[in-house]
Amino acid sequence: MPAPRRRPRPDGGHRERLLAAAMRCLREKGYARTTARDLVAASGTNLASIGYHFGGKERLLNEAIAEGFRLWTEEVERAVFEVEGGNILEQGRRSLEATVGRFAELRPFLVAYVEAFPQAVRFPELRERLARGYEDARRATMKMVERGLAAQGIELGPGDRRALASVLVAICDGLMLQWLVDARGTPDAGEIARASRNLARAVARGGAATARGRGAAPGGAR
C-alpha cells in the first residue's frame, strides 16, 4: 500500500498539480522546509498560481495536510474491510498493520502532520479541515467496531461506539507521537495485537472464574 499521495488527473489544471506537488514536498522536505519555489518546481506552475488558487503557500500546505489525512483514513478503512468477516480483534490487527505497521514508511508524512498542528491554532480553516479528518477517522473506526462486535453477537449504542472510536483514534495518535521520538521503545503492530488478544483471553477467563465462584457461594448468594 503506497504512502498517502494525490496524483493529478491528466487533464488537471494548476490547482490539481499544486496540491499533488504540495503532498510530495511534504513527504520529501516537511512542512517547515518547503518553500514556494519548491512547490512551483514540483508542480511546473508559477508563483502567481499559488496565490490565485490557495491564497498563499501556507494555505496550500494546509490543504495538502488535510488531504493526506483523508487519503490515509480511506486506505486504513480499505485495509480493515478488504477481507470479509473476522471479529473485532482480527479487524483491529488489520487496522494496526495499516497504521502502526506503516509508521516507518510514512515518517515524512507523519512529521508534516505533527508540524501542522501549531498551524491549526492560527488557521481556522486548517483546524476545521483536520476536525473533518478526525470525524472521518471516527466514522471508519465506528464501522470497524460495529462489525467486529456484531460478529461476537455484541451490540453497543451509537454513543458508545463513537466514544470507543475516539479512544482508538487517540491511541493511534499517541503511538505515532511515541514512535516519532522513541521508535525502538514503541511496540509494533504485532506486539500490540498479541497483547490485545492476551488481555481479551485473560478477561474472559477471569469472568468465567468469577461466575463459577459466585455460583459456588453458600446459599446461592450473589
Higher-scoring residue by pLDDT: 148, 188: 188
Spatial neighbors of 148 by CB under 8 A, at least 6 apart, are 86, 87, 88, 89, 90, 91, 92
Residue entry with cell 518546481: 41
Number of Cβ within a 10 Å radius of residue 85? 8
Residue entry with cell 485495509: 79
Band (pLDDT 50/70/90 cuts) for residue 62 is confident
pLDDT digits (tens, 9 = 90+) for 4-17: 555 555 445 899 99
Domain boundaries defined on the chain: 65-215
How many helices (DSSP H) and strands (DSSP E) are in the chain? 9, 0
Band (pLDDT 50/70/90 cuts) for residue 185 is very high
pLDDT digits (tens, 9 = 90+) for 15-44: 999 999 999 998 888 888 899 999 999 999
108, pLDDT greater than 80: yes
Task: Give backbone dihedrals phi and psi of 153, rounded to 5 degrees, phi first.
Answer: 75, 25
Is the domain covering 65-215 a CATH 3.40.309.10 domain?
no
Which of 54-58, 69-73, 116-120, 121-125 is modeled with the greatest confidence? 54-58
What is the pTM for the complete model shown? Answer: 0.72
Predicted local confidence at residue 217, as pLDDT? 47
CA–CA distance, 70 with 168 (Å, rounded to integer) = 17
